[in-house]
A and B are shown apart, each in its own frame.
Chain A
Amino acid sequence: MSFFIIKHNPANIPAMKKFFTLIAMTTLLTGCASTLNIDRTYSGKLQDSRARFLVIHYTVSNLQRSIELLTGDQVSVHYLVTDEAQPRIYGMVDENKRAWHAGKSEWKDYKSLGASSIGIEIVNPGYTDTAQGRVYAPFPQKQMDVLLPLIKDIVARNQIAPENILGHSDIAPQRKQDPGPMFPWKQLADAGLIIWPDAEQVKLKQAGFEGHLPDIAWFQKKLHVHGFAVPQTGELDAATQNVISVFQMKYRPANIDGKPDAETAAILEVLTTAPSTIGTPFLEQTAQAQK
């Protein structure tokens, strides 16, 4: 009865509207939290971003095809850097979400890095096999000038450790070549983003290794310490050669034949023994103490 009266009193309509709006808003605000009744008074001290790794890829396909593939139902990536005259960055997956870019992968005993990484695809045709051997396409400087600030931004926001900025081939050396030997990792080092072996130290160690090259077991052990999934067989099998080749692509791209040599040994030795020279490995020290 009272409802009937209100309904027919024009003066009361705005008041009624307000009342319903209030009810609607209250319902919206409380949401499912009201049924679950969660206490948010306290906060864990030890927490960080779910994105622990940054993985760099090349697409092999041209821009249009890359977009088609990356918006399809098979693969995806957080960011796509184009090869246009003025390269663009597409943000295709929110960083809070998992994109399908890593596949079967491993780094420092983490397996299947899709959930724990952010992926960047760069439009680049990859390689062509010619009579003179495999030829990789270069990355235009304009593309790098767009890529570097993007990496810097992602790394800062997610506190990604320098040693966790990786190529797709680093985490899947048996399957993947990208971003390949033309990718200018040194520019990332110069920007303070990744660790780079000190040239003087490498020279010094190399002189020593020239006379006495460490055995395969040494290479396998060191490559594992560095982060790779690598067989520990003491034999230079195909899988081990793939890992050495991927390592060379990054740090010694002039020769990526996958064969152990003094320079490769020297770089590996410097990288695995020298203390990391940039930043602080975020939470790495507490990783051991984890429950």
Chain B
Amino acid sequence: MKLLRMKSWLVLAVAMAVLSGCAAGLRLDTSKTAVSQESRVKFLIIHYTALDMPTSLRVLTQQEVSAHYLVGDDNPTTVYRLVDESQTAYQAGLSDWKGFSRLNPSSIGIEIVNLGYQDGPNGRTYQPFPQYQIDRLIPLIRDIVARHKIKPENILGHQEIAPQRKPDPGPLFPWKQLADAGLIPWPDANQVAALQAGYEQQLPDIAWFQKKLAQHGYATPQTGILDDATRNVLIAFQARHRPAKFDGTPDAESAAILEVLTTTAKTIGKQ
């Protein structure tokens, strides 16, 4: 009887210690709560793995890279949660967007199983994303974005935050479907056409492109010269916004899209 009483007393003590946790040692006063606070997650980064499913899973769980989510290429598509959203995953690497750099601690990463590109005699060919995969991806993005209040303009491809190093998710990734789902801004086609006509007459110079690309968010040299680094940024921009042609050469259509994206209000939801 005595032993039993002691036992229950001990259990109670242990339970209390567990419940109070470190707060007991530190004596934290939680009576004042800040209103100015938000999620640590500011960006959502989309990747392709360039590996098949089993290899993707192995690399992202056992090697020196990781991602929060892995979207499979099976049908129906499996979505794996590999890293809890409260943690940093190692997916962004050296990266920049709008004055933010090294985006790992401030982003959630989604890897999509897709083989990326192959170089053949007829040039580079990219593997398309099957619709069933995208149908699984969009609700996932919607859920993440809603919970962390990620801004539409902060849903990005890996190539956009690391244009000198990365090609993913590539020109076949259907960004338009994300726009149609109300997730990202999309330039108004009529506005683009109107501006393009003007730019056909006179193309803005490289300094203009560099300034606008930086304003949009890309880390871009401001040299006035079409160097390799600037070309890579233009390629990243075109691969997302004008995937029919992404050679990194400045042209009237790219200028028009860039102008619309950097000057008009975000036209989210209105298609």
Contacts and interface: CB of A to CB of B under 8 A. Distances in A.
A88 B32 CA distance: 12
Interface stretch (A31-39, A173-181, A205-213): A31-39
A48 B92 CA distance: 14
Interface in B61-92: 61-67, 69, 78-84, 86-92
Given A43-B82, A47-B87, A289 B31 contact: no
Instruction: For chain A, give the interface size range.
Output: 35 or more
B78 A150 contact: no
A88 B27 contact: yes
A109 B105 CA distance: 13
A157 B22 CA distance: 10
Interface string A241-268: 0000000000000000000000000000
Contact of A112 (B62, B78, B90, B100): B100
B8 interface: no
A73 B143 contact: no
A42 B139 CA distance: 21
B33 interface: yes
A290 B104 contact: yes
A92 interface: yes
Interface string A38-77: 1111111111111110000000000000010011111111
Contacts of B28: 89-91
Contacts of A290: 64-65, 90, 92-94, 104
A90 B32 contact: yes
A98 B104 contact: no
B60 interface: yes
Interface in A149-186: 149-150, 153, 157
A52 B35 contact: no
A20 to B, nearest CB: 28
Given A47-B87, A49-B88, A89-B29, A36 B143 contact: yes
Interface stretch (B9-17, B38-46, B174-182, B194-202): B38-46
Contacts of A289: 64
A98 B38 contact: yes
B67 A44 contact: yes
B99 A74 contact: no
A104 B83 CA distance: 28
B79 A38 contact: yes
A44 B83 contact: yes
Contacts of B33: 71, 92-93
A109 B101 contact: yes
A203 interface: no
A116 interface: yes
A199 B20 CA distance: 42
Contacts of B89: 44, 46-47
A97 B36 CA distance: 10
Interface string A126-154: 00000000000000000000000110010
A71 B69 CA distance: 35
B40 A77 contact: no
A18 interface: no
A99 interface: yes
A99 B94 CA distance: 24
Nearest to B38: A98
B87 A50 contact: yes
B1 interface: no
Contacts of A92: 32-34
Contact of A286 (B64, B69, B81, B139): B64
B7 interface: no
B83 A47 contact: yes
B80 A38 contact: yes
Interface string A6-39: 0000000000000000000000000010011111
B88 A111 contact: no
Given A38-B81, A153-B26, A98 B65 contact: no
Interface of B: 22, 25-42, 57, 60-67, 69, 78-84, 86-94, 96, 99-102, 104-106, 139-140, 143
26 contacts: A36-B139, A36-B143, A37-B79, A41-B80, A43-B83, A47-B84, A47-B89, A51-B105, A70-B34, A80-B32, A89-B28, A89-B29, A96-B40, A97-B37, A98-B38, A98-B39, A99-B36, A112-B101, A112-B106, A115-B42, A115-B105, A115-B106, A157-B22, A290-B64, A291-B65, A291-B90
Report, nearest first, the 6 A-B pairs whose CB atoms are least far apart.
Answer: A44-B66, A76-B34, A116-B105, A115-B106, A76-B36, A111-B101
Given A47-B84, A116-B40, 18 more contacts: A36-B143, A39-B78, A43-B82, A44-B90, A50-B106, A70-B34, A72-B36, A73-B36, A76-B34, A89-B26, A97-B40, A109-B102, A110-B105, A111-B96, A111-B102, A112-B106, A115-B42, A291-B93
